[in-house]
Amino acid sequence: MLVLTGAGISTESGIPDFRSPGGLWTRYDPRKLTFDLFCSRLETRRDYWRLATETYPILRDAEPNAAHRAVAEIERAGKLLCLVTQNVDGLHLKAGSSRERTVEIHGSSLRATCIDCGAEHDREQLHRLLLAGKVEVPSCELCGGRVKPATISFGQSMPEKETARAFAAAGDCDLLIVIGSSLVVYPAASLPDVAVKAGASLVIVNNEATPKDDLAAALVRGAAGESMTMLLRGAGLADGAQLSPRS
């Protein structure tokens, strides 16, 4: 089984959909925060880190919900080939999904890397420095290069290894469950096409219609947590205790 998740799985953990009305992209123009501009303009890097400083605590402090725990339960039951998430919040890993089977295809806001030398940087430490006003635009301690949250920005190339792994899993799975994705952001939105073409069944769990609904063997309309709890109970993979918050 392959699972693909999008923003709708994390809104139930209090993480806003930044593309929705009133979201961050109504206050920050994504056209002014492209990867090329980040690389070439100090002003853009300053704006980008201002945005990142606003969003980081929300993502860092969020807790997984029943849908995240359901995906982790699928893996524990030995039924998961791969989890591909479009989210950058790290909630699947916090819920217990293994890093080995998780593909964060759009990266993670909880990490930071130098785009010049690839060095990893402590995201929490950077956040504290930014809050304290000690830096406005972090630079790499090793090479002096440009440090960026480890997410895929507008105009930035998708990570080759992660993308290849996601599409390989789509071609190999017998079932693809899509949870909380609008299926309009590519290349991840192509995964249902690849899976169905290869003979897999498609199940879409989402509050609203998606462009791939006509490919689905089953559509589940409703909240991600409640819907996934119902599906796992129906499959005999979990009970209420297993999907409740862990102490």
Domain ranges of the chain: 2-243
Q: Considering the chain, what percentage of its residues have pLDDT values greater than 70?
A: 91
User: Strand 2-5 and strand 82-85: pairing?
Assistant: parallel
Q: How far apart are the first and last CA of the chain?
A: 28
Question: Would you state the pLDDT for residue 236?
Answer: 78
- Among 3.90.226.10, 3.10.129.10, 3.40.50.300, 3.40.50.1220, name the CATH number for the domain at 2-243: 3.40.50.1220
Asked if the model's pLDDT at residue 247 lies above 50, the reply is no
The pairs formed by 132-139 with CB atoms below 8 angstroms and a separation of 24 or more are: 136/46, 136/49, 137/42, 137/45, 137/46, 137/49, 138/49, 138/112
- Which stretches does DSSP call E strand in the chain? 2-5, 82-85, 102-104, 107-114, 120-121, 147-151, 175-179, 201-205, 218-220
The pLDDT confidence band at residue 234, using thresholds 50, 70 and 90, is confident
Q: Please enumerate in sequence order all residues whose Cβ is within 8 A of that of 93, keeping only pairs 6 or more positions apart, or say none.
A: 99, 102
The Cα–Cα gap between 231 and 179 comes to: 12
Contact, 104 vs 85, CB < 8 A? yes
Asked if the model's pLDDT at residue 90 lies above 70, the reply is yes
Residue 139 backbone dihedrals phi, psi, to 5 degrees: -130, 160
The total number of residues shown for the chain amounts to 247
Distances 64 to 85, 95, 124, 166 between C-alpha atoms, Å: 14, 6, 20, 22
Question: Would you state the pLDDT for residue 240?
Answer: 46
Question: Would you state the pLDDT for residue 29?
Answer: 73
Question: Would you state the pLDDT for residue 24?
Answer: 62
In whole numbers, what is the pLDDT of the chain averaged over residues?
91
28-42, 73-87, 167-181: the lowest-pLDDT one: 28-42
Q: Average the pLDDT over 230-241 and give the result.
A: 74
Q: Give catalytic residues, as residue numbers.
A: 106
Distances 135 to 45, 64, 138, 165 between C-alpha atoms, Å: 12, 31, 6, 37
Q: Average the pLDDT over 149-158 and give the result.
A: 93
Taking residue 217's Cβ as centre, other Cβ atoms within 10 Å add up to: 12
Which pTM was predicted? 0.90
Question: Would you state the pLDDT for residue 22?
Answer: 56
Q: Average the pLDDT over 23-38 and give the result.
A: 78
The pLDDT confidence band at residue 16, using thresholds 50, 70 and 90, is confident
Contact, 216 vs 59, CB < 8 A? no
Question: Would you state the pLDDT for residue 150?
Answer: 96
Residue 219 backbone dihedrals phi, psi, to 5 degrees: -120, 130
The pLDDT confidence band at residue 138, using thresholds 50, 70 and 90, is very high
Asked if the model's pLDDT at residue 101 lies above 70, the reply is yes
The pLDDT confidence band at residue 20, using thresholds 50, 70 and 90, is low
Taking residue 109's Cβ as centre, other Cβ atoms within 10 Å add up to: 21
